[in-house]
Amino acid sequence: MIYMDHSATSPVKKEVFEVMKPYLKESYGNASTFYSLGREAKVAMENARENVAKLIGANPEEIIFTSGGTESDNIAIQGIAYKLQSKGKHIITSSIEHPAVIETCKGLENKGFKVSYLPVYKNGIIKISDLKKAIADETILITIMHANNEIGTIQPIAEIGEVAKKHDIKFHCDGVQSVGKIPVDVNKLNVDLLSVSAHKLHGPKGVGALYIKKGTKLKPILFGGGQENDLSPGTENIPGIVGLAKACEIAKLELENNFTYLTNLQEKLIDGVLDNIEESYLNGDREKRLPGNVNFRFTGIEGESIVLMLDSKGIAGSTGSACSSKKLTPSHVLKAIGLEDLDSHGSLRLTIGMENNEEEVITVIEEIKSIVETLRSMSPLWKKK
């Protein structure tokens, strides 16, 4: 199988799995207990906190562990909103956020908050001038993702952070797709809160982290035994946390090398498809893009059928087509970059990872070419000139 869906999830690295194992078996203690088994877990967790912090240039005490990206986004956004609602009830976000952010914002709209969704234009990137215009006296929070999960576009986070700082507005960034793939330094990016997910960077599923800049106060949205500064209560997922930390440690060491490797394969895949298939297009900005992410569209054919056919050839990819979504609406991201409904149905996302190689990229290009031909020959919307 050729797996090219790393933005959906990535395989757990062998080294990561190895460090997790003892915490599932021998060292299974509850980190909140005081006997040696529990203390062992606690020590492992605090070491893990250091490794996660290092990857993003934070201090360990600024990191809390969560159950993943979605929980991190919820704790951050709702936490700020409810903490600061006496100051104002306005939030600014972008129109291409992950559902974990968009749906949280919509939930807050139902609670009387006002949310501005910044446009992203054809290249999939917001404009700082739009952000400045959207800021009002009541604005308490800006939440904008670092890299988009569908089209991989990278937002000008440092500049957004500067604007937020100047206006004394809290800034949360969903870093789920970017952390471990491109340099992320919370101080350089001027963020107050940053969400991290383990399984996107070769860690296990069900664990993530939230960076909370020192002095940033959040109102808890989950209630329980007080773990993680009262913000993410529940018995700590030590195997997951240890796995996340190992994944972060490896990502930090390999970041530069991986960036070059993935960018090279990405370029080959983009050129190979665009040069060999007529009326094929790349969605989103070509330069300001996550390494390894490609998102194509092909006139006259539909995305789910492309993905199904790729699967039958042993290639795993994904689509933003409505037909594959549970809601049957076209991807909000492709809509936001101005694609007509028909075009947004023809999208194919491939996200390359470190296990992929050039040979696989060549195979994928050939298979896509033949699949596109097959589907076009069946399509009433593709008229050969």
Partner 1 sequence: MYTEKVMDHFTNPRNVGEIENADGEGTVGNPTCGDVMTIYIKVKDNVLEDIKFKTFGCGAAIATSSMITELAIGKTIEEALKITKNHVAEALEGLPKTKMHCSNLAADALKAAIENYKSKK
Stretch that binds partner 1, among 9-17, 19-27, 107-115, 377-385 (CB under 8 A): 377-385
Q: Would you count residue 323 as binding partner 1 (CB under 8 A)?
A: yes
Q: Would you count residue 161 as binding partner 1 (CB under 8 A)?
A: no
Stretch that binds partner 1, among 155-163, 179-187, 243-251, 341-349 (CB under 8 A): 341-349
Q: Would you count residue 72 as binding partner 1 (CB under 8 A)?
A: no
- Among 317, 320, 330, 353, the residue binding partner 1 under the rule CB under 8 A is 330
Q: Would you count residue 335 as binding partner 1 (CB under 8 A)?
A: no
- Residue 110: beta bridge partners? none
- Which residue's CB is nearer to partner 1, number 312 or number 357? 312
- Which residue's CB is nearer to partner 1, number 3 or number 298? 298
- Which residue's CB is nearer to partner 1, number 126 or number 371? 371
Q: Would you count residue 341 as binding partner 1 (CB under 8 A)?
A: yes
Q: Would you count residue 215 as binding partner 1 (CB under 8 A)?
A: no
User: Residue 47 carries which side chain, given as an amino acid letter?
Assistant: N
Q: Which residues contact 124 (CB under 8 A, 6 or more apart)?
A: 96, 148, 151, 153, 283, 284, 285, 333, 336, 337
- Which residue's CB is nearer to partner 1, number 216 or number 299? 299
Residue 325 beta carbon to partner 1: minimum distance, rounded to whole angstroms: 9
Stretch that binds partner 1, among 176-184, 251-259, 282-290, 318-326 (CB under 8 A): 318-326
Tell me if residue 105 is catalytic. no
- Which residue's CB is nearer to partner 1, number 94 or number 331? 331
Buried b (16+ CB within 10 A) or exposed e, 31-65: beeeeeebebbbebbeebbebbbbbbebeeebbbb
Both tokens of 128, joined, read 């700082």
- Separation between Cα atoms, residue 237 and residue 104, nearest integer Å: 24
- Which residue's CB is nearer to partner 1, number 229 or number 377? 377
- Footprint on residues 238-267 left by partner 1 (CB under 8 A): none
Residue 101 beta carbon to partner 1: minimum distance, rounded to whole angstroms: 24
Distances (CA, A) of 355 to 6, 17, 107, 178: 10, 16, 39, 18
- Among 94, 345, 352, 353, the residue binding partner 1 under the rule CB under 8 A is 345
Buried b (16+ CB within 10 A) or exposed e, 225-246: eebbeebbeeebbbbbbbbbbb
Residue 328 beta carbon to partner 1: minimum distance, rounded to whole angstroms: 6
- Which residue's CB is nearer to partner 1, number 295 or number 324? 324
Q: Binding residues for partner 1, how many (CB under 8 A)?
A: 25
- Among 1, 112, 215, 328, the residue binding partner 1 under the rule CB under 8 A is 328
Q: Would you count residue 320 as binding partner 1 (CB under 8 A)?
A: no
Q: Would you count residue 324 as binding partner 1 (CB under 8 A)?
A: yes
Q: Would you count residue 43 as binding partner 1 (CB under 8 A)?
A: no
Q: Would you count residue 342 as binding partner 1 (CB under 8 A)?
A: yes
For the beta carbon of residue 156, count every other beta carbon within 10 angstroms. 17
Q: Which member of 105, 173, 248, 323 is catalytic?
A: 323
Contact map string, positions 275 to 314, toward partner 1, x by CB under 8 A? -------------------------xxx-xx--xx--x--
Residue 143 beta carbon to partner 1: minimum distance, rounded to whole angstroms: 30
Closest to 317 in 3D by CA, of 327, 326, 309? 309
Active-site positions? 323
Q: Which residues bind partner 1 (CB under 8 A)?
A: 300-302, 304-305, 308-309, 312, 321-324, 326, 328, 330, 340-342, 345, 377-382
